[in-house]
Amino acid sequence: MANNNTGSNKILVPEARQALDQMKLEIASELGLSNYNSIDKGNLPSRQNGYVGGYMTKRLVQMAQQSMGGGTTTR
């Protein structure tokens, strides 16, 4: 499944958008970024925005590994 749209953040499974948005807000809150949905992301340091995306990726990989392995792990 190749994605030739480099630089695109297109969601491949549109039904997952709400869950991904909720995950983003939860992670931002855990990182101390309250009201992340209403914050102008352009005014945040790239490090903070990167943390949110990085932790989302880490959590999604963890969820995929658990699904594939059938096991549970701790955060």
Task: Please say whether the beta carbons of 25 and 38 come within 8 A.
Answer: no
Please report, in tens digits, the pLDDT of each residue of the chain (75 residues total): 454 555 567 888 889 999 999 999 999 999 999 889 898 989 989 999 899 999 999 999 999 999 998 766 555
Q: Is 73 left (phi over 0), alpha (psi -120 to 50) or beta?
A: beta
- The predicted pLDDT at position 28 comes to 94
- The predicted pLDDT at position 70 comes to 74
Look at residues 52, 61, 48 and name the one whose alpha carbon lies nearest to residue 25. 52
Task: Please say whether the beta carbons of 55 and 31 come within 8 A.
Answer: yes
- The predicted pLDDT at position 62 comes to 95
- The predicted pLDDT at position 75 comes to 55
70 is written with which tokens? Answer: 């059938």
Q: Any residues with CB less than 8 A from the CB of 5 and at least 6 apart, and which? A: none
- The predicted pLDDT at position 56 comes to 95
